[in-house]
Structures are given as structure tokens and as C-alpha cells.
């Protein structure tokens, strides 16, 4: 599969969504909820998205927290102490001298700053940045899942609306036949059996319509929950369902998915983080060079021990670990194990993605074939109904035979509609499986 065919499938779907939108806007009367509007409302209001966005803000804060190690730490201290006995010294003929005051006061401002920690802080910053990228990809994966849920519910609603219309048409035709059968009974050319058989068909069709209405209500409630609306609000969706061909083969889709599927990107990012953590362990026992400064006032200086005096101290310190009880060695083994686990997890996810791509591709091919088969069935059912109507006029078949032909046409239309909806949803599932955008970004 050449790259241009991959591009074709990615470009094809925006026109699908756009086609639905134009069709919906062209209908007067009730407001039509178009697909991209429904998805937009879900992404703006769903709490899962807000949670993921908050996680990104937390990740930004963690990056700033890691960078704060580059900044100095300033603190203030104040203290009082009373000592006793007060140390003193006695010098013959000069008298007794106190070495310290009994009451000691001090107030200082302290500054400590790491001059160089040999890469420890920079590694922590890199890990924080990598975790933010992982969080961002998690947000994108969440968006795709919500988009796919919305798309599935939206087109299911579209199918149910049209299916109810088809069933209503079937019930009207059956009622017309029932009225005709009653008239024939009154003239003596019909039987009670014709009337009862027609009534049974009407009852069955009405039961099917009731089931469709219940499914429609459930899907409508589910769509409202996704969009954050009242559960009982009625949504009118577009009934225009386009079924473009999928111009790609399974191998090309699989190759595309390994580079663009969010779960694969997240898995590789987890590998990267595991590698960064391993590098951090390697440098965590590195030396560190620090600068310190302190200044303030305190008493206890000669000649007046009780008079507060300004004082300060500055310097540098160098810390180098000598023996850590083999902690670094053990930590490296754990970090290496985490890397191996991340690699295994990436392979597990790759296999899962391949399975999902193949399943979505197979389902789309099956749905496409069903469209062709259902289209032929509709054509055949129309021809059979035409022949039945002609035969019924000549008296060659009964009223029930004609009802069978009309019912077959109604069921064939439903099957074709279902096949088109399934194919449309399956194409979106293919896009979701390979990591492509589901909705056009305008």
C-alpha cells in the first residue's frame, strides 16, 4: 500500500462529516444535531476530559518543581536561649570576666544554593517533561475513546430514527390491507383468516416498533449523558449516511497504527521514562557542590556581651558519597527491570493494536459486503413486490401472499440501512484503531 492511499483514507472522513453537516443544515424545521457538534459538546463537558486536562496542569507544576532545585533556598531563623551557669574566668588582680551572656538572642537569614550536582537536577527535569508528554498522550487517547463512543451512539440513533419510519410505513400498509380484507369479508369474497392473519402481522410490526422506540430512547439518553445534557432531552440527528470505500489494505493500516496509535506512543514514552530513570539512578551518587551564606545579629561578642552585633558567614561545601551500602547497585537492577518490563509492555500493546486493527478492518469488509448483498435483496424484493401486485390483480395470489412481498421489502430496506450504518461505524473504528483523527478539525 502506497502512502497516497493512506492519505486518502485520512482525507476521506472529513468529507463524510462535512457531508452530514451540509445535509443537516439544509433541512428546515427541527434543529438537526450534526456529528461534529455532538462530539464537540462531549469533549467540552465530559468530566474525564477535565480530569485529564488537570493532570497536564499538574505535570507542568512538577516540571517547575524539578527546576526549582536550580534556585537558592532562603530561610530566616530567630532564637532565644538562657544558659546557666554562665561560663567565666578569673584573672588575679584583674577580676572576674564572663565568657558569654546568660540570655542569648540571635536572628539570621540563611541562603543555600546548589552550584553543581553533576546532572541530578537535569535528569529530574527531563523525567518530569517526559511524564507531561505521557499525560498529554493519555488525554488524546481519552478524547479518541469519547469521540468513538459518540460516533457509535450518533449513527445508531440515525439508524433507529429511519428504522422507525420504515416500520411506520409498513404498519400503514398493513392497516390498509386490513381494511381491504374487511371489505372483502363484507362482500363475501374474503375470510376471517385473512383478517386475523393481517392483524397478527400488524401486532408483530407494532411490537418491533416498540422495541425500536425503546432502543432509541436508550441511545438518546446515552448521547445526552455524553454531552452533559438532561437525560430526557430529545436529539434529532441527521439521517444522511454516506458509505465511502476503504482504500487501504490491512498491512498498510497496521504499519500506520504502530506510529500513530496513542497507546503505542504512550508505550514508547513509558520506555523513554524508564530509561531516564535508569540514568538518574546512575548519577544520584554523584558529588554535589553547594554555596551557603548566613547573616544576622546576635549577642555574646566582646567587649559588651549583651549588645547585638551584625555577623555573617559564607562558604562552599563539597559532598561526595563514599559507600552507600550497595544501594545504587540494587537501584540499577530495579531500574533495568523496569526498562525490560516497559519493552515487554510495548510489545503487548503492539500485538493488541494489531488485533484491533485487523478486527476493525475485517468488520468493515464484512459490512461492505453486506451492503452489496442487501442492495441486491432490496432490488429483488422490489421486483418481487411488482410481480406480486400484478399477480394479485389477476387473482393468481392471495392477499397474504402480497403482504409477504411487502413485508420482505420492508425488512430488506431495514437490512440495507443497518448494513450502511454498520459500515460507517466500522470505518470510524478503523480510523480509531490506527490512531487517525476521527473528526475533521476546522
From the list 405, 412, 62, 386, the residue with the least C-alpha distance to 201 is 405
pLDDT digits (tens, 9 = 90+) for 120-176: 999 999 999 999 999 999 999 999 999 999 999 999 999 999 999 999 999 998 998
| Assigned domain for 200 exists | no
199 in a structural domain:
no
Query: Alpha-carbon distance 166 to 200, whole Å?
Result: 18
Show contacts of 175-180: CB within 8 Å, 24+ apart. Answer: 175/202, 177/399, 177/402, 177/403, 178/202, 180/399
Confidence of residue 305 (pLDDT cuts 50, 70, 90): confident
CB of 290 within 8 A of CB of 317?
Answer: yes
Distance between CA atoms of residues 310 and 372, nearest Å = 94
Q: Give 249's pLDDT tier (boundaries 50, 70, 90).
A: confident
Q: Are residues 158 and 303 in the same domain?
A: no
> Does residue 189 lie in a domain region?
no
What total number of domains does the chain contain? 2
- pLDDT over 60 (residue 196): yes
**pLDDT at residue 242 tops 70:** no
Q: Note whether 7 and 82 are same-domain residues.
A: no
The more confident residue out of 225 and 394 is 225
Which pLDDT belongs to residue 76?
94
Q: How far is 49 from 42, CA to CA, in rounded Å?
A: 9
Rg (the chain; Cα; Å): 39
154 and 303 in a single domain? The answer is no
Q: Identify whether 194 is part of a domain.
A: no
**Domain CATH for 134:** 1.20.1600.10
Between helices 399-434 and 250-260, what is the axis angle to 10°? 50
Residue 204 belongs to a domain: no
Which residues lie below 8 Å from residue 404, measured CB to CB, with a gap of 6+? 388
Residue 30: its pLDDT value, please? Answer: 57
Q: Would you state the pLDDT for residue 303? A: 79
Q: Are residues 162 and 296 in the same domain?
A: no
Judgement on whether residues 138 and 256 belong to the same structural domain of the protein: yes
Residue 226's closest CA among 425, 40, 433, 412? 40
Answer yes or no: do 108 and 33 share one domain: no
Instruction: Name which of 360, 377, 370 is nearest 9 in CA terms.
Output: 360
* Axis-axis angle for helices 327-394, 399-434 (nearest 10): 160
The 10s digit of each residue's pLDDT in 328-363 is: 999 999 999 999 999 999 999 999 999 999 999 999
Residues 132 and 59 in one domain: yes
Which is it for the CA torsion 213, 219, 224, 230, positive or negative? positive
Q: Is residue 236 part of a domain?
A: yes
Residue 412 belongs to some domain of the structure? yes
Residues 363 and 316 placed together within one structural domain of the fold: no
Domain shared by 297 and 362, yes or no: no
Domain-located, residue 184: no
Instruction: DSSP for 254-266, please give it.
Output: HHHHHHH-HHHHH
What is the predicted pLDDT for the residue at 54?
A: 95
Q: What is the DSSP string of 161-229?
A: HHHHHHHHHHHHHHHHHHHHHHHHHHHTSS-HHHHHHHHHHHHHHHHHHHHHHHHHHHHHHHHHHHHT-
Give percent of the chain with pLDDT exceeding 70. Answer: 91
Quote the pLDDT of residue 20.
38
- Specify the pairing of strand 95-98 against strand 288-298: unpaired
Q: Which grid coordinates belong to 83?
A: 544558659
Name the residue range of residue 383's domain.
3-71+119-167+226-285+324-434
**Low-confidence winner among 92-96, 178-182, 202-206, 368-372 (lowest mean pLDDT):** 92-96
**Residue 238 CB contacts under 8 Å (≥ 6 apart), including other chains:** 20, 21, 23, 24, 32, 33, 34, 35, 158
In 3D space, the residue among 150, 200, 120 whose CA is nearest the CA of residue 439 turns out to be 150
Amino acid at each position: 500500500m502506497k502512502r497516497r492511499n493512506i492519505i486518502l483514507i485520512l482525507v476521506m472522513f472529513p468529507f463524510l462529516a462535512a457531508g452530514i453537516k451540509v445535509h443537516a443544515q439544509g433541512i428546515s424545521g427541527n434543529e438537526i444535531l450534526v456529528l461534529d457538534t455532538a462530539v464537540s459538546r462531549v469533549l467540552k463537558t465530559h468530566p474525564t476530559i477535565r480530569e485529564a486536562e488537570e493532570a497536564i496542569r499538574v505535570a507542568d507544576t512538577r516540571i517547575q518543581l524539578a527546576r526549582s532545585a536550580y534556585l537558592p533556598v532562603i530561610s530566616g531563623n530567630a532564637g532565644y536561649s538562657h544558659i546557666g551557669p554562665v561560663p567565666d574566668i578569673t584573672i588575679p588582680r584583674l577580676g572576674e570576666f564572663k565568657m558569654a551572656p546568660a540570655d542569648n538572642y540571635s536572628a539570621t537569614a540563611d541562603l543555600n544554593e546548589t552550584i553543581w550536582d553533576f546532572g541530578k537536577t537535569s535528569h529530574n527535569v527531563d523525567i518530569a517533561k517526559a511524564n507531561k508528554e505521557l499525560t498529554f498522550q493519555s488525554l488524546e487517547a481519552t478524547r479518541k475513546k469519547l469521540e468513538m463512543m459518540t460516533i457509535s451512539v450518533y449513527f445508531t440513533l440515525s439508524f433507529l430514527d429511519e428504522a422507525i419510519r420504515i416500520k411506520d410505513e409498513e404498519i400503514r400498509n398493513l392497516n390498509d390491507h386490513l381494511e381491504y380484507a374487511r371489505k372483502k369479508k363484507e362482500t363475501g369474497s374474503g375470510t376471517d383468516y385473512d383478517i386475523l392473519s393481517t392483524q397478527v402481522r400488524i401486532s408483530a410490526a407494532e411490537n418491533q416498533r416498540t422495541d425500536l422506540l425503546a432502543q432509541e430512547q436508550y441511545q438518546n439518553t446515552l448521547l445526552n449523558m455524553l454531552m452533559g445534557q438532561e437525560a430526557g432531552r430529545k436529539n434529532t440527528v441527521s439521517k444522511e449516511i454516506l458509505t465511502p470505500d476503504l482504500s487501504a489494505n490491512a498491512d498498510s493500516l497496521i504499519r500506520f497504527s504502530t506510529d500513530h496509535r496513542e497507546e503505542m506512543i504512550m508505550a514508547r514514552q513509558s520506555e523513554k521514562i524508564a530509561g531516564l530513570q535508569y540514568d538518574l539512578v546512575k548519577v544520584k551518587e554523584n558529588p554535589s557542590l553547594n554555596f551557603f551564606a548566613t547573616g544576622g545579629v546576635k549577642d555574646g561578642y566582646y567587649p559588651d556581651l549583651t549588645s547585638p552585633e551584625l555577623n555573617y558567614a559564607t562558604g562552599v561545601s563539597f559532598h561526595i558519597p563514599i559507600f552507600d551500602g550497595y544501594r545504587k547497585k540494587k537501584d540499577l537492577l530495579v531500574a533495568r527491570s523496569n526498562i525490560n518490563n516497559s519493552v515487554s509492555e510495548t510489545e503487548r500493546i503492539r500485538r493488541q493494536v494489531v488485533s484491533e486493527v485487523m478486527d476493525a478492518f475485517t468488520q468493515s469488509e464484512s459490512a461492505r459486503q453486506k451492503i452489496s448483498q442487501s442492495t441486491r435483496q432490496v432490488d429483488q424484493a422490489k421486483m418481487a413486490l411488482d410481480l406480486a401486485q400484478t399477480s394479485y390483480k389477476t387473482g393468481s395470489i392471495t392477499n397474504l401472499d402480497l403482504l409477504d412481498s411487502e413485508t420482505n421489502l420492508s425488512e430488506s430496506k431495514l437490512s440495507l440501512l443497518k448494513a450502511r450504518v454498520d459500515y460507517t461505524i466500522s470505518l470510524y473504528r478503523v480510523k480509531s484503531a490506527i490512531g487517525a483523527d476521527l473528526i475533521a478539525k476546522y
